[in-house]
Chain A
Amino acid sequence: MFAPSTPMARRQARTLGGSPLLRWALIAVALVFLGVFLFVPLVAVFTFAFQKGSAGYLAAVSHPEARSAILLTLTAAGIAVPLNLVFGLAAAWLLSRFRFPGRALLLTLIDLPFSVSPVIAGLIFVLLFGRQGWLGPWLAEWDLHVIFAVPGIVLATVFITLPFVVREVLPVMQAQGSDEEEAALTLGAGGWRTFLRVTLPKVKWGVLYGVILCNARAMGEFGAVSVVSGHVRGVTTTLPLHAEILYNEYDFTGAFAVASLLTLLALVTLVLKKYVEWRSEAS
């Protein structure tokens, strides 16, 4: 992997795919495929967003409904990410440091939000809190709204993004072992102090990585949120849902202006991800 490039280049002539013609043909096919599926769509989002110039763009993203969508997206992510961060740290500590009955079941349940369709994630909350749901009559009695309201959107977002931090922190914690923690405890440090001063610094890049991915998904989730939202304009529409509404009303420029905000989020996520990968390799 870390072989210097010159011997590698010399060697390439004798290994598979080493002939220059084949090499450039393979590179060309791969780049055309990625260009068609990734690069052009990326350029297209911004081209479509600025079709009516920057004035049209600014009007679309500063529209009151767009602003309330931004606010709701930030709210949902602002609740889901910290909750799943705390959960991720606790669960990773538990699963990496202790063996106990039910551990495998717990791991399966934690992974579940990854493996079910987002639509099913929304459905289970509708079945629980919806008008005809199990808690529906009780909620109606107290005039509480979960489905087709903000709490439902937050719940669905928390559910969908639940595994992200654990999944990134658990392998790092496992790989680090607990020798330093045991040393700290022997030297008289308390449990919390040991966790905050010894464990957390060791796994910080894993934590950051998990948080970045968790946040990207929380802000971009569509399926689960769409099911529980009810699409009440300016009230229960997150950014992806707002883009959908505009698109369905044939306001393409507006839809792509909103979509471009989410695309920027994706690009920032990729850059941060790369940075964290680079830093954690360096340390």
Chain B
Amino acid sequence: MSSPHRVLPGFRLSLGFTWAYVGLLVLIPLSSLVLKTVSLSWPQFWDTVTAPRALAAYRLSFLASFAAALINVVFGLLVAWVLVRYRFPGRSLVESLVDLPFALPTAVAGLTLTTLFSAKGWYGQHLEALGLKVAYSSLGVAVALTFIGLPFVVRTVQPVLEDIDADVEEAAATLGATPWQTFSRVLFPAVLPALLSGFTLAFARALGEYGSVVFISGNMPMRTEIVPLLIVTKLEQYDYAGATAIAVVMLVASFLLLLVVNLLQRWSHRRLETRPGT
């Protein structure tokens, strides 16, 4: 273990402090979840996580998060493209505003979107006239999750688009490619890995989101109740076992998603290494 780095001081101090801090604040609290899970009997666990109310919550959380992430893929790519390739008045303002969902407390987003989309709200009154009910419906959940996930795709795709030289497109056009061919054969394959990791990040964030959704969803069991809310409801009834069981299902789901993100990143790295110049 005589790496050249060891001449630098502070190894023991920073190692000890970092592990102690992470141990106290992450490892010990998290182990309380593991201990609680182990203390549950299998039938008790299984009945809780497969109760009709829980299944309805998984379904809503999954579908609404998926829809929101998909919307963000389409519009995220568009926004990233417009920001990278075009110059227009107000561009730098837009560039800064994209990060708003990261900076704005989720409760504020929830309050505001609910008020805008409610029956008498700025958006809601027009949408209701068209027969679309957004606030207090599963559509509202998807709207809130779209807001929350908005920056992810833009921020993962943007640097990739910046790296693609306009030369490549120009070459494709010179060689006789139609704009659609240039997009689908040249640009899209290059941004696909970034698009996929942006999608997964937005999807994972949406699955766990609580603050913005509780306001707009109306929280009706079986209909507009998301998984995090179900956990909170169980905690409020002092049903620690039930809350833990549902939380474990959620943790497993987010762990799998994290794995997907890592695999995607490795895949895209390999693609970039084997195809220099793209």
Contact = CB atoms under 8 A, between A and B. Distances in A.
Interface string B84-104: 011110000010111111111
B25 A243 contact: no
A128 interface: yes
B231 A220 contact: no
A134 B29 contact: no
Interface of B is mostly: helix
B235 A227 contact: yes
Given A31-B94, A40-B116, A120 B247 contact: yes
Nearest to B238: A132
A15 B8 CA distance: 51
B228 interface: yes
Contacts of A119: 208, 210, 228-229, 231-232, 247
A27 B86 contact: yes
Interface stretch (B10-18, B51-59, B191-199, B264-272): B10-18
A127 interface: yes
A42 interface: yes
Interface residues of B, number: 92
A283 interface: no
A227 B27 CA distance: 19
Contact of B107 (A112, A127, A222): A222
B79 interface: yes
22 contacts: A16-B182, A44-B116, A87-B17, A97-B5, A110-B26, A115-B254, A117-B231, A117-B254, A118-B228, A119-B208, A126-B235, A126-B240, A182-B8, A191-B10, A216-B103, A220-B104, A222-B105, A247-B111, A255-B111, A256-B115, A259-B112, A266-B100
Given A23-B86, A97-B5, A191-B9, A243 B111 contact: yes
A270 B5 contact: no
Interface in A157-211: 158-159, 162, 178, 181-182, 185, 191, 194-195
Contacts, number: 281
Interface in B189-207: 204, 207
Contacts of B82: 26-27, 30
A132 B11 contact: no
Going nearest first, the 7 A-B pairs with the smallest beta carbon separation are A220-B105, A117-B208, A191-B9, A222-B211, A223-B210, A94-B14, A240-B107
A48 interface: yes
Q: Chain A interface residue count: which class?
A: 35 or more
Contact of B7 (A16, A162, A185, A252): A185
Contact of A30 (B75, B162, B211, B232): B75
Contact of A94 (B15, B112, B187): B15
B166 to A, nearest CB: 5
Contacts of A41: 109, 112-113, 116, 147
Nearest to A83: B21
B251 to A, nearest CB: 7
A222 B15 CA distance: 32
B28 A128 contact: yes
B111 A5 contact: no
A67 interface: no
A29 B79 CA distance: 9
Interface string A17-33: 10000110011011101
B99 A273 contact: yes
Contact of B103 (A34, A240, A255, A270): A270
